[in-house]
Amino acid sequence: MLPNWLSFLFFLAIPIAIAICGVFAVRRFVETDVLRRHNEIAVPIHAAISVIYAVLLAVCDCNRLGAI
């Protein structure tokens, strides 16, 4: 089992840092017009994925609470 600080680093801090660097890299190298066109497509896809993830988390939570 990993210590708490190492778990935090691996599962939270490093992925968040990578995501932030990715956003900055895309903003720097991709033009604003291209980003604007892709935003119209990305928003509904992101919303659908978020809803599916939320439902899966709720199911996991219900299963965990049912086991108690």
The pLDDT value recorded for residue 17 is: 94
Tell me how crowded residue 12 is: count the other CB atoms within 10 A of its CB.
10
What span, in angstroms and rounded, lies between the C-alpha atoms of 64 and 58? Answer: 10
Between 2 and 18, name the one with better pLDDT. 18
Is 67 a residue whose pLDDT tops 80? no
Residue ranges per domain, the chain?
1-30, 41-68
3-state secondary structure of 32: helix
pLDDT digits (tens, 9 = 90+) for 23-52: 999 999 999 888 888 888 889 999 999 999
pTM over 0.85: no
